[in-house]
Amino acid sequence: METVKFIFMVAGMVIVTFLPRVLPLSILGNKELPERVVLWLSFIPAAVLSALLAPSILLKNGSIYLSLDNTALIAFFPTLFVAYRTKNIFYTVSGGLIFYFILMLIF
């Protein structure tokens, strides 16, 4: 019985992951999107990255942690500068990791 549940679970995960990616491509693949929609869609990666990172930067044990002991928060500011200057996700993530590791070594 556990094997059947596992197979249904994996099949469900495949469907839930596959459909949101395939449906928009199949429906909108041959159409030209309005400029405003393309502009709006361009903000999605930054919004998702921010939503994923904000809790790990600002929270500790479920509460706001604004302190000079918060290494992630301190590393956030030079990383934000790199993001602003380069507008390149690779440089931003790489810079953030470097800043974080340097701060971990210092503190």
pLDDT digits (tens, 9 = 90+) for 3-34: 999 999 999 999 999 988 898 888 888 888 89
Question: Which of the four pLDDT bands, split at 50, 70 and 90, describes residue 46?
Answer: confident
- Rounded CA gap, 48 and 37, in Å? 17
pLDDT digits (tens, 9 = 90+) for 91-107: 999 999 999 999 999 98
- Alpha helices per DSSP H over the chain: 2-28, 35-42, 44-58, 71-86, 89-106
